């Protein structure tokens, strides 16, 4: 059976060019990058090249990029690291109710340790209310952490406005950009971003790779004790082949960004039109316009989202009922609940995230099978 994959927000296939560039770092340039002999120096050079490529993709200095194992680790390091390093200045953090659990659970851990956290509401389309953000700031606020684009509904937040507010108030601003990197333009300087998390496997690099941008001059405590790797921000011998792959994937994503955005938006808009024209009571969740180019999240009244995912899988179709990290949970999506969507619709949601290899013919097949499952 041919597999049609529509779950690129969960993970992406490693690009052939990425894998090709990684292979020598398994077999030839396999040295420890902290070593001073030739094989180690070759590994270090590979990492430096990757660091520059990642930096170029978001417009920062290469020495402001720190490699991690994933987006979740980057979120933990940013949020907890800043909180612990700045607890003498204040103990208040602002985030939103629709963040990835790597952010939400980090904040809840800090709450148990005496920190105060404000969880902002969002509008019906998933965007942050700027006035509520302003009203939440206190003299003890040390960090604002708001995701660039939501992993379930694809809504893009007003990052530049948030960055300006944070800069004007002398508050650090972190954004989880795991879903945004490689999908939309990002300029950390223009947008006033102090820290940014990314994950390799969302942009055609291997799993187990990630990065955290930390603007020069920001102080944070590391949470993995050991050696002094990654500028003493993250102990442990680096995953050199994975880092090389992340760098190459960022370079490709940067070069192809315009074309990919256009292709994915056309596919997404075609899918949305087909669903809304052929399936009664289908509800598009999130912003209709300010959303990631390849993301479409629909609720289908009267249906069970998990059951639909299973039935579509039998037909060779891969979609998601929400965040891949929550796939085993029976709870309704915290993101959709925060939008004010009733339980009946939150539990009938299907997230479809397209990639550049998808075609309109693939979408026709998906919609045809959705019609058969829902209408017949």
> Are 196 and 75 contacting, i.e. CB atoms less than 8 angstroms apart?
no
Q: Which of 306, 239, 190, 191 is nearest to 73 (CA)?
A: 239
Q: Which of 331, 328, 316 is nearest to 366 (CA)?
A: 316
Question: Which residues make beta-bridge pairs with 168?
Answer: none
Rounded Cα gap, residues 112 and 133, in angstroms: 23
Decide: helix, strand or coil at residue 188.
helix
> Are 259 and 44 contacting, i.e. CB atoms less than 8 angstroms apart?
no
Q: Exactly one of 60, 107, 181, 325 is catalytic; name it.
A: 325
Longest Cα pair distance anywhere in the chain, in angstroms?
A: 67
Please indicate whether residue 325 is annotated as part of the active site.
Answer: yes
Q: Distance from first CA to last CA of the chain, Å, rounded?
A: 23
* Continuous segment of H or E residues that includes residue 117: strand 116-120
Burial of 113 (0-12, 13-18, 19+ CB in 10 A): exposed
CA 197 to chain centre: 8
DSSP calls for 56-83: HHHT--GGGEEEESSHHHHHHHHHHHHH
Q: Which of 164, 216, 179, 189 is nearest to 58 (CA)?
A: 189
CA atoms within 13 A on the CB side of 183: 33
Annotated catalytic sites, by residue? 325
């Amino acid at each position: 059976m041919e597999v049609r994959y529509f779950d690129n927000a969960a993970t992406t296939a490693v690009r052939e060019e990425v894998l090709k560039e990684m292979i020598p770092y398994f077999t030839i340039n396999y040295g420890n990058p902290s070593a001073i002999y030739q094989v180690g120096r070759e590994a270090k050079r590979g990492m430096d090249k990757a660091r520059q490529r990642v930096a170029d993709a978001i417009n920062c200095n290469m020495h402001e990029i720190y490699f991690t194992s994933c987006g979740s680790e980057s979120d933990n390091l940013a949020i907890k690291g800043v909180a612990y390093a700045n607890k003498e200045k204040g103990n208040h953090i602002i985030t939103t109710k629709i963040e990835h659990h790597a952010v939400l659970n980090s904040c809840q851990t800090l709450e148990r340790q005496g920190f105060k956290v404000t969880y902002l509401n969002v509008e019906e389309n998933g965007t942050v209310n700027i006035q509520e953000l302003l009203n939440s700031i206190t003299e003890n606020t040390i960090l604002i952490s708001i995701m660039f684009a939501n992993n379930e509904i694809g809504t893009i937040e007003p990052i530049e406005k948030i960055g300006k507010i944070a800069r004007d108030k002398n508050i650090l601003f972190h954004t989880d950009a795991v879903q945004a990197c490689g999908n939309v333009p990002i300029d950390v300087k223009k947008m006033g971003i102090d820290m940014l998390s990314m994950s390799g496997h969302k942009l055609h690099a291997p799993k187990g790779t990630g990065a955290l941008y930390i603007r020069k001059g920001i102080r944070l405590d590391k949470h993995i004790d050991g050696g002094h790797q990654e500028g003493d921000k993250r102990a442990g011998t680096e995953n050199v082949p994975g880092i090389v792959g992340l760098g190459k994937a960022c370079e490709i994503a940067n070069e192809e960004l315009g074309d990919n955005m256009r292709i994915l938006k056309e596919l997404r808009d075609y899918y949305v039109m087909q669903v809304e024209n052929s399936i009664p009571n289908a509800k598009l969740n999130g912003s209709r316009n300010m959303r990631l180019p390849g993301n479409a999240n629909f609720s289908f009244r009267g249906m069970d989202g998990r059951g639909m995912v299973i039935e579509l899988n039998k037909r060779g179709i891969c979609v998601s009922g929400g965040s891949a990290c929550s796939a085993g949970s029976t709870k309704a999506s915290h993101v959709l609940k925060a939008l004010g969507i009733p339980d009946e619709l939150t539990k009938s949601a299907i997230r479809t995230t397209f990639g550049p290899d998808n075609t309109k013919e693939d979408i026709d097949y998906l919609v045809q099978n959705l019609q058969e499952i829902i209408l017949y």
